[in-house]
Structure 1
């Protein structure tokens, strides 16, 4: 391998650099969702490659200047169309004029516009054909370029170029354009895949949002349906009023879920309140009793007098958290007892919710609270995600212990806030 071939291979590496640069820019755009970076960045490859090739040419002892400018010029015209092609023609002639050499400049003034105009017509069909045909067209254009350049150089300007130099130059150009076409097609395919992923991600978000809203709304609607069914039974007027009020409250809760669900994403409490934990537990238990009765589950409550102890949080979200965990426990059992204990330990209040369901493995316990992870066939996993986020916003923690086939225990630990502190 002589010196010219080595230098031309270095020139080829110069062509590859802008290709990978364009790829990196697109990946950055995808990762950081940069809308400012649009299709214009695809022009980085041909323009920058052309400029670098012409600024760092190979000069032989015969005072000929060689470079691989035709590769980015041809591919830029084929992929970029006439607009990019015109820019490349202007850049080529400008640099060729500045670098000097009258004969070479005049040769460029004939060959580049001629090939450039040809590319304008071919580019309309080039994008629609297969990669194999694109490679054939690229090699054919390199062959046409050499014939045209040789004819103009020898017949019009009487330049004598050695056959060995032409062979080396032609072979390297052919190999170069084949490699670059393949690389560019792979990169463009990656771009298309990423674009599809972005669209699929947006559709997935929409689907998850719809699923999450339906999940949260279904809970109060289920309770409402249960109380409405109980209204059909032979009960006292006072009991009917009580059932109707609870049903209306649950419908209001469904409305609140629809209006406020997006706030669950960050779980930033809007209205901090002092909450009596026992009162909130009793409220949730009263709301979920119809579902427990329907499934044949007994609810056992054991709470201490917490008149002097308060936790701080947003009432509706705390109730939603308790409702989700209790409902999951009920649905995990075909029969049995679900117990709820309220305990006081040092500076914390602990709520223990123990079911006698099928239990979970340690791997499932570790994934609790992840978006869209659920052990239920028809579940979405969003209820548990919300519960974890609510307890975290109240500066509390959730511990889970479970034995498969025996049941699961959720321990909610919340810091106590004295009555006079707020």
Structure 2
């Protein structure tokens, strides 16, 4: 019974950083995707490791389960190698001054080996599927226990060396492995659960804003568009007569027409926003669609003195709505063209298959964006253009989400932007 109480206490120690991080950081009102607070992760993980080391959990009174390593592993995976190494330093300092002896020596010998796999996985950890993360978590726990027992065997430390390879040894080994893997899985599950909840909460907020904009679009756009069309027609007729009276009047006529056209574009954005929930998905050759998009945008690019280059793989198939996806890529290419300078402007369109996704990258050498601007992309009415409505990317993000895809931006000010759209590959099982 005492062992069960101690186990529950240690599970509390390893879980409290995740839930305290949610309370302190993720519970705040968010306008965009939450940014990882590495300092908070470092402090909470370090404190958790010290608490686990302060009250060790013994098996058979001989071997500790080393739960203090679980915050170290998760800090490395989710906050990066630097955060993981910082937590390691905190743990080693504690062990040196408050523990010392064989325990400290074993930790120093084994810790670099423990960290190799988490550091290797940390770079791609955020892009892995949930099931893959769980499998790799079991692998990391297994490797850790194996390394620990190999070091014990060759060094002869602790009471475990007296047992040698007897029956009790294997019982202890299995118990330690199962408890450590169990604790590591709980920690990964808790972090993933909390992260998903934070993203769901953000999506709900964005969906509410989108719903309001959609209702406004549905109630106003149709009523406004028809009168504008009539007004534009009469302005053109009046402009011809005014030009005959005074040629300078044509400047005012052109100005009025350009503003009417701009009003039409705004209404079109609202109508697209209102219609974005209707999709007709089917097997779609994305290669042909992207080639068509590049041809359509070439004339606009030439007008802006921008060069479009394409590297599009053959036979890229997805399940989607052709008109909606065409709208997505036309909008993204148009934004890329408008972001580059008037001289030596270049927009590159790349498309290829990667694992289970078709990835389309649109790269420009334009003005770039700051991390704060990237975080707000897709919000209704947020725009970087002087005369933009901020609805184009809102619709784009929504369409991509409806296709179970993702969009990711990488940008640097005055150097350019890379936009990557990932859409699931069409499955032959659906034929």
What TM-score, normalized to structure 1? 0.45
TM-score between both structures, scaled by the size of structure 2: 0.44
- The structure with the largest alpha-carbon Rg is 1
